[in-house]
Structure 1
Amino acid sequence: MGKGAFIVLKLNAKLLAFVAYFVLPAGGFAQSLEDDIAGFTTDNTITRVGHEFARYISHYRNSLYPESKYNLSVYERPSARWGNLIWVEKDHKTVFRRFMSPNRSGIESEAKQAVIQIHKEVKQLELKELFSDTFDIDKDEI
């Protein structure tokens, strides 16, 4: 490879850096990737009750609200004394939280009610974000 080819490669790297910094919008690639990966429910639970609840949440969310484009995470903290504390987060904000008994009766109906409540809460959060002033701080810092 001659000296001329090295200069062209160096100029192309500088041009690429210029385009990436000045021409592309901030976070453009990351935002488009996030838009492509939307509507998921991640299961971060431990027990069988938690896994079933997360599975029903995902099922009812996909059947009742197939157009939902937000990601949810289901978490659990089991306790022998109080039952399982299960909470659901959207963008590190809790949108649902409830203690559930260790027996598995009624999990499906609880999940269906939770999906309806979660969807309403997420819509409220989105509306609140539209009207919040984020001039000097980013939306995730509120």
Structure 2
Amino acid sequence: MPVNRVTEITATRTQIREKKVRQPAVRLCALVLLLTLQTAYSKSSQKAPAPAPVQNLDSGSISDEPLGGVVINRTVTVLGWDFYKNFAEVWRAKYMNTKYTVTVYERPTAQYGSEVWVQYRQNRVFHTFLSPARSAAKEISGRAVDIVYKNVVDTNVQRLLFNDVDLGPEEM
């Protein structure tokens, strides 16, 4: 039995020596890894731009149009598309830097052709009936641009000048 005990003690001393040799290597690897991660983290935090100030989303008004100057198409037929296309081309050519967003609507009818109207802020500023002949759409849309712009400007002037204490600002 004493021989086995000596063998066990020798084996234990060998394992301890191996562990002592391994421990500094493991500690060195852990230290290098820690320093690398810390350096990478500090560099990434230095390069990151400062966060933008938080804006209150409820502070804006319904009259603030972030996508101003857009002509929206709500037509359903080829005749309506022709009117919209010509209207949008003339609108952009004449009033390129405008902030007014208008929407072109169409309701096709079997008897009268198509009913077409243009809305600005949920108010109709132009309304007409187009005959089924597509040739008239270009001429009418060209004239409609001037009428719509005049009515939109008049609507805005009236809105700014008219102040009634009984009516609140537009919400929707």
Query: TM-score of the superposition, structure 2-length normalised?
Result: 0.62
Q: Which has the larger radius of gyration?
A: 2
For structure 1, the 5+ residue unaligned runs are: 1-18
Structure 1: how far apart are the matches of 2:86 and 2:75? Answer: 13
What does 1:1-142 correspond to in 2, within 5 Å?
A: 24=56, 26-28=58-60, 34-140=64-170
Structure 1 residue 39: Cα displacement: 0.5
| Structure 1 residue 25: Cα displacement | 8.6
Partner amino acid, structure 1, of 2:146: I
C-alpha distance in 1 between matches for 2:70 and 2:79: 20
Identical columns (%): 29
Judge conservation of contact 1:129–1:139 (CA < 8 Å) in 2.
no
Give the deviation of 1:120 after TM superposition: 0.3
C-alpha offsets along residues 99-134 of structure 1, whole Å, 9 cap, x if unaligned?
000111121111110000000000100110111114
Cα displacement (A) at 1:67: 2.0
Q: 1:41, 1:73 within 8 Å by CA — same for their partners in 2?
A: yes
Higher deviation after alignment, 43-52 or 127-136: 127-136
Classify the secondary structure of the residue corresponding to 1:129.
Answer: helix
Measured at CA, do residues 89 and 65 of structure 1 come closer, stay the same or move farther in structure 2, by a change above 3 Å? same
* Paired residue total: 118
C-alpha change, 1:48 and 1:89, in structure 2 (3 Å) is same
TM-score normalised over the length of structure 1? 0.74
Equivalent residue of 1:138, what SS?
Answer: coil
Is the Cα–Cα contact under 8 Å of residues 57 and 115 in structure 1 kept in the other structure? yes
CA contact (8 A) 2:130 2:136 kept: no
Gaps of 5+ in 2: 1-53
Equivalent residues of 1:87, 1:97 under 8 A apart: yes
